[in-house]
Homo-oligomer: A and B are copies of this chain.
Amino acid sequence: MTDHIKDQSSSARAEGSGLRVAIIGHAFMGVAHTHAWRTAPRFFPMTRTPEVALLVGRDEARTREAAARLQIAEIETDWRRAVEREDIDIVDICTPGNTHAEIALAALAAGKHVLCEKPLANSVSEAEAMTAAAQKAAVHGVRSFCGFSYRRTPALALAKRFVEEGRLGDIRHVRAQYLQDWLSDADAPLNWRLDKDKAGSGALGDIGAHSVDAAQWVCGQQIEGVSAMMHTFVESRPVAGTAEGLGGSAAAGAERGPVTVDDAAAFTARFSGGAIGVFESTRFALGRRNANRLEINGSLGSIAFDFERMNQLEYFDGRDDQAAQGFRTIQVTDAVHPYTDHWWPVGHGLGYGDLFVHQVADVVAALESDASPRPDFSDALTVQRVLHAVEASAGDGSRYTPVDQTAELRAGN
């Protein structure tokens, strides 16, 4: 099969040639990604300019409507067509997790670069297969990326820089919370995110995955074991005629269907470098709209972040003189901060949508330099393995469960 992978290594592509992108899916993520591919080249210098060439959706009418609004010239209703087309360079997967593996494997086999939304897959075995395929394709210059977009938050990127600079010293504590509240209403309707077959898991995979990736990435340490508790507060919900949205209370008396995923997940963790972690993910933290929080305490310094104030990073420097120590609220909008010099003058903050612009900039930069981009599928696999251990521990009386990050890849053998 390897024989047929289209070679994408630097020698094989023209300098300055464009990058034609097919977007698979046109919901929340499809819109965010399309916007980003369009915007990135106007703010970040790039020699290979991306172009959104194709939108793929199952329902023709709705896909056509979305393409019109998003100003995309062509549509397809079968993702296989996008993978087969000669003129597509990048397949950008924005569909639910249960479809990722099949699409990604086919796209890699066809020699397309792949950007896949997180979580990489709904199971470790799928994620392993994808990672194996990605490693095989990489030989031909075909690249894989996973869309952990919060890494592109300037404040979190600054936190990582601070860790790398040694400002935190030895890391002792990681405290990661991802708190939402859109299921607090027990009569909010069912949707695909509450269906284990489609979503894989609930709060854990949807938002906890972000916490795990951010924590490992910022710390530069991997999670080695977890002890977990998962819980479903509301076990059945109204079946809505249109259950696509997030939240909204359904009419009383509506038929109810089962919630098959976790409403909340909490776990303690041990990291490879000696830190201990406490993680919590929930959609029932009433009043917390999107509180993606990370705090890290080291022997020399600490950082704290909350996405509800995404342009700020709290930083404590234990080497400041004693009388003047305190958490600094850094406005991460300065020209010396990650990403921000491409945008506005100091103090004029960025928004959620801009993170995807940064992601595109990073992806294109990696392709331009033929570098190994991050996070690639193997990075995402480490997250998948942590999620798996969390579920295993929760199913085994919270017993401490090691995460085997050295396990051989199953697929591709």
Contacts and interface: CB of A to CB of B under 8 A. Distances in A.
A45 interface: yes
A370 interface: no
Question: Can you tell how many copies of this chain the complex includes?
Answer: 4
B182 A346 contact: yes
A246 interface: yes
A374 interface: no
B324 A227 contact: no
Nearest to A175: B280
Contact of A276 (B229, B288, B312): B229
Nearest to A267: B268
A280 B269 CA distance: 12
A196 interface: no
Interface in A298-312: 298-302, 307-312
A264 B323 contact: no
Contacts of A39: 35, 38-39
Given A42-B71, A71-B42, A350-B353, A318 B287 contact: yes
Nearest to A313: B326
Please classify the interface of chain A as helix (H, G, I), strand (E, B), loop, or mixed, using the class held by over half of its residues: mixed
Contacts of A312: 308-309, 326
B278 A280 contact: yes
A314 B278 CA distance: 23
Contact of A323 (B299, B323, B334, B345): B334
A308 B331 contact: yes
A353 B343 contact: yes
Contacts of A316: 286-287
Given A233-B172, A287-B325, A299 B347 contact: no
Interface of A: 28, 31-32, 34-35, 38-39, 41-43, 45, 69-71, 158, 161-162, 167, 172-173, 175, 177, 180-182, 184, 186, 227-229, 231, 233, 246-247, 264, 266-268, 270, 274, 276, 278, 280, 282, 284-291, 295, 297-302, 307-318, 320, 322-331, 333-334, 336-337, 343-354, 393, 397-400
Q: Which 9 pairs from chain A and chain B are nearest by CB?
A: A290-B347, A351-B351, A289-B347, A287-B316, A326-B328, A227-B398, A326-B330, A348-B352, A350-B351
